[in-house]
Structure 1
């Protein structure tokens, strides 16, 4: 039996959608891409990888804030 992780499937869809040329996208297409990316974020957030990404972005934001002072 083949199982597919939904987060991995959404990540693949996002990669393929973002590879297309910007001029070829309609507004509805762009909104659909945003919804898919938000759903991917919701699926990744509670995982250990999501926590690592959040920690990294927090440290990056704090470093940028301190550097600008």
Structure 2
């Protein structure tokens, strides 16, 4: 039995959609890509990977705000 992780599938779809030329995208196509990316974010957020990304981004933002 073949099982596919939904987050991996969505990540693959996002990469394939973003590889297309910008001129070839319609407004509806761009909205669909945004929805897919949001769904991917919701799936990744509670995982260890999502928490790691959050920690890295938090440190980056703190570093930038401390520099000012």
- Please give the range of the TM-score, normalised by the shorter of the 2 chains: over 0.9
CA distance in 1, matches of 2:56, 2:31: 27
In the alignment, what sits opposite 2:51? 51
TM, length-normalised to structure 2: 0.98
Residues 12-68 of structure 1 deviation map (CA, whole Å, 9 limit, x = unaligned): 00000000000000000000000000000000000000000000000000001111x
- RMSD value over aligned CA atoms? 0.4
Counting only pairs closer than 5 Å after superposition, residues 1-69 of structure 1 correspond to structure 2 as 1-67=1-67, 69=68
Any unmatched runs of 5+ in structure 1? none
CA distance in 2, matches of 1:33, 1:45: 18
Any unmatched runs of 5+ in structure 2? none
CA distance in 2, matches of 1:43, 1:2: 20
TM, length-normalised to structure 1: 0.97
